[in-house]
Amino acid sequence: MSQRPLRIAVYCCDYYPAVSGYSFAFQDLVRGLGEHPAGVEVDVFTPVPLASAEEVSLRGVRVIRVDLPARFAGVPVLPALWNLFAKPWLTSRTIAMEHRNRDYDFLVAETIEDPLALRFLPAELRARTMVRVHACMETEVVLWGRGAVFALRRRLIGHVLRHHVRFIAATSHYYLGFVKRWYLREDELLIAGKRFCVIENSAPMLGGVPRHGFARPDRVHFMTLGRMDWQGANQKGFDDILLALLHLDPAARQRVQLTVVGKGTERARLMQLASGIEGATVEFIESMPNNAVREHLQTVDCVILASRYEGMSVFALEALGSACPVIYSSAGGIADLVDGNGYQFPAGDAHALAERIGRFLSLADSDLRRMSERSLQLAAGFTPRAAAERLLEFSRLITAHDVDCPASDGRR
């Protein structure tokens, strides 16, 4: 008797046709699983409506759109509580109904943003569930966000990770460390009972052409991007970039053209700071669709990310796939994306960043071409196939797991 293919349920809080870093990252992993030669069967559960878009057809992939009734989703009172409780309950109910028919070997939850969607699952499926921690929204934003809703969400995430999830993956070692420190409370016994794995996001190969020299030697074009609310501006280090320009030699500053993409409450302050930097050309763009960002990356000479803390930025990976040389801080996951394709500097050190920018401005054409080609080489290692391989290797632990074994700390 032939063995049936592995059946995997994947919960994506964001998915096609939504346009976001989450959506692109989730679609990449699903595509990698669907195209895997092992021939796995993948059911994607998402609350994102298809609306007028056509469903994407992928081999081995079925998409189940979770029905969120308008009479509930449109309630104007406390929509945050809808997201915390009602939406997860409806999602878990849909997954459980399909599980009764499909008998999933395990479930992958892309992000832990909806912790109760896992808590409401049947215990035997919850015991075979893996969470992949992705981005700042479920980590830094939830942890340091102000207000009762953030406080409630971080308590729920911590509770579910401590007591109901044994298998935890992340897109970088930074996020695994974050989970262990802030949600598992650095409890060595509790951590020892969990199983961890890094499953990176994919770098889109955007048809980037290696740079053979600066587009305009008199103006070297740099680009950075990120949220500009209070927390986002602190994270992304925009101040460090602008201070670094002030530290540059005036002659070098004359050659700098910087595009800054982002919106938020700190934008006006940053623009005022930039206005006092003589010589450099600094352009602020409040909003840019993702396809425009990717097109813009084809034209810039270098991407700067000065993050004070960072997991695995999709924008950082898009820069590699566009053949951009980079200047990234040493913070978190983006530190792993600098290897012969640019320069790294200590996070928060504007003087060191200024030195790296000055060094980049003096590159010979051959050095620029080498860095650009190296970015493409690094991007080729971050593929949907590679992510799927990592997940399927890790799944051996999940499918061999005794469902009677508690996911919690197990203390008596």
Q: Which CATH architecture has domain 220-379?
A: 3-Layer(aba) Sandwich (3.40)
- Cα–Cα distance between 374 and 233 in angstroms, integer? 29
At 145 the pLDDT is 83
At 15 the pLDDT is 95
Helices (H), 210-349: 230-236, 238-247, 250-253, 267-275, 290-297, 314-321
Give the pLDDT band (50/70/90) at residue 51: confident
- The pLDDT tens digits of the residues spanning 115-173 come to 999 999 999 999 999 999 988 888 888 888 888 888 988 999 999 999 999 999 999 99
Q: Worst-scoring range by mean pLDDT, 251-260, 331-340, 348-357?
A: 331-340
- The pLDDT tens digits of the residues spanning 359-401 come to 999 999 999 999 999 999 999 999 999 999 999 999 999 998 6
* SS3 at position 227: coil
- Cα–Cα distance between 187 and 61 in angstroms, integer? 38
- Cα–Cα distance between 115 and 160 in angstroms, integer? 6
At 167 the pLDDT is 98
What does the CA dihedral 186, 188, 190, 191 come to, rounded to 10 degrees? 80
Peptide bond preceding 17 in cis form (omega within 30 of 0): yes
Q: Which CATH architecture has domain 7-202+384-399?
A: 3-Layer(aba) Sandwich (3.40)
At 2 the pLDDT is 54
* Cα diameter, the chain: 75
% of the chain exceeding 90 in pLDDT: 74
- Tokens representing 77? 């009172």
Give the pLDDT band (50/70/90) at residue 80: low
- Cα–Cα distance between 105 and 5 in angstroms, integer? 10
Pairing of strands 326-329, 195-198: unpaired
**Residues forming a β-bridge with 184:** none
At 1 the pLDDT is 41
* SS3 at position 311: coil
- Tokens representing 376? 């493409």
- Cα–Cα distance between 327 and 347 in angstroms, integer? 11
Instruction: Residue 231: count other Cβ atoms within 10 Å of its Cβ.
Output: 17
At 21 the pLDDT is 83
Taking alpha carbons only, the member of 363, 335, 365, 360 closest to residue 347 is 335
- The pLDDT tens digits of the residues spanning 225-257 come to 999 998 899 999 999 999 999 999 999 999 999
At 77 the pLDDT is 46
Mean pLDDT, all residues of the chain: 91
**Are domains 7-202+384-399 and 220-379 of this chain identical in fold?**
yes
Sketch the domain layout of the chain as residue ranges.
7-202+384-399, 220-379
At 20 the pLDDT is 85
Pairing of strands 61-65, 106-110: unpaired
The residue length of the chain stands at: 412
- The pLDDT tens digits of the residues spanning 194-226 come to 999 999 999 887 777 899 999 888 999 999 999
Contacts of 186 (CB under 8 A, 6+ apart): 180
**Residues forming a β-bridge with 283:** 259
